[in-house]
Amino acid sequence: MRRSTPGSALAAGGAVVLGLLAGCSTELPQPEPDPTAETAPPVLDEERFDRVLEEVSATIAAADETRDGEALQSRVTGPALDMRRAEYRLAEATDGQASPAPITTATQVEAVAATEDFPRTAMTITQVPEGANLPLLMALTQPEAREQYKLWGWVELFPGIETPALISPDTGSAQLAPDAEGLVATPAQVVERYVDTLNNAESEFAGQFAEDPYKKTARETTAQLDANIEAAGEASISFSVGDSGPLALATADGGALVLGELGSAQTIRKTVPGATLTVGGQIGALLGEDKEVRGSVTGTSDLLVAFYVPPAGGEDATIRPLGATPGGGVLTEVTRDDAAAPAE
């Protein structure tokens, strides 16, 4: 047996104390981690969204003063950028007779995406702009984390239209991809099918859409133009799906608010040999001094259309167009084909 020293007795006593503490360790309170959010947070709060809208408005106002399309780029993108630039060109070509559409960012209702991914979408229904008669529906997008929110597009709401209930910005709305399911048609299908109904009055999808002023006006205008020039030629119009979008946010009832880009091509063709056919209006202005149609002249326009898309399985499966680009679109390009002249 070894003789214990005072130091060794102290060490043994210390071991007992540590052993007792170790025996009680399972009863000590443990920190609880913060609960994980079940849904993504809204991408903008009300204050930040209002600030974004103010900055977008200031950028557009400054660019409108000088008709400077380059000055728009910091806060305008996609179809909105292309169309506003085209409006500046038209204003110059018509000596100011065609002016940019009135716009405002003063809001009535706001909706923002609830997502942690990019790009991110926000929408707002505005007040009535000065010089206009109807409110606007605007869509903004943020492509990447280090980029600013920019105006992607806007439409003028149709008269008397009832807009769907949007989800509060405090909660955020589900951001829907172009191929998102759970609706009577995906956002991409909505745009494709609407274009089909524009090109073909007997389209198989005609009954899926409610009637709307844009479709009615487009058909009537083209028919009237065709009748006016029948002594020398003919007029036709065709539509296509645009290159951008669509953008979509969920509504409170599980449906969706969809904003899609379309293109239209109005062609004026000379069909009577020896006849003289000239074109006026905005198409004529972009043609320049020579406004005669020898073969064909085509005016290409961009436009946006907004839709309410019901959820799948509901009682009403009708897709309702809510609004369109003022004036039925913005003329972006005019081309001529003199080689298409009728044979003498």
Summarised one tens digit per residue, pLDDT across range 298-322 is 999 999 999 999 999 999 999 999 9
H or E stretch at 98: none
Q: Does some domain include residue 229?
A: yes
Summarised one tens digit per residue, pLDDT across range 249-304 is 999 999 999 999 999 999 999 999 999 999 999 999 999 999 999 999 999 999 99
The whole-chain average pLDDT of the chain stands at 90
- Please report, rounded to a whole number, the percentage of residues in the chain having pLDDT higher than 70: 89
Whether 330 shows a pLDDT value over 70: the answer reads yes
Q: Does some domain include residue 9?
A: no
What is the tally of structural domains in the chain?
1
Q: Can you say how many angstroms the Cα of residue 174 is from the centroid of all Cα atoms in its chain? A: 15
Distance CA 110, CA 149 (A): 15
Question: What's the half-sphere exposure (Cβ side, CA atoms, 13 Å) at 71?
Answer: 14
Q: Does some domain include residue 8?
A: no
Q: Does some domain include residue 12?
A: no
Q: Does some domain include residue 35?
A: no
Summarised one tens digit per residue, pLDDT across range 55-87 is 999 999 999 999 999 999 999 999 999 999 999
Q: Does some domain include residue 174?
A: yes
Torsion of CA 229, 233, 238, 243, to 10 degrees: -100
pLDDT at 1: 28
8 A C-beta contact, residue 144 and residue 158? no
pTM: 0.87
pLDDT at 3: 34
Summarised one tens digit per residue, pLDDT across range 129-163 is 999 999 999 999 999 999 999 999 999 999 999 99
- For helices 187-199 and 213-228, angle between their N-to-C axes, nearest 10 degrees: 30
Summarised one tens digit per residue, pLDDT across range 7-43 is 433 333 333 333 333 444 445 454 555 544 467 889 9
Structural domain containing residue 76: 46-340
Summarised one tens digit per residue, pLDDT across range 200-256 is 999 999 999 999 999 999 989 999 999 999 999 999 999 999 999 999 999 999 999
Q: Does some domain include residue 7?
A: no
- At residue 301's C-alpha, the angle toward residues 72 and 78, to 5°, is 35
Q: Does some domain include residue 4?
A: no
pLDDT at 160: 94
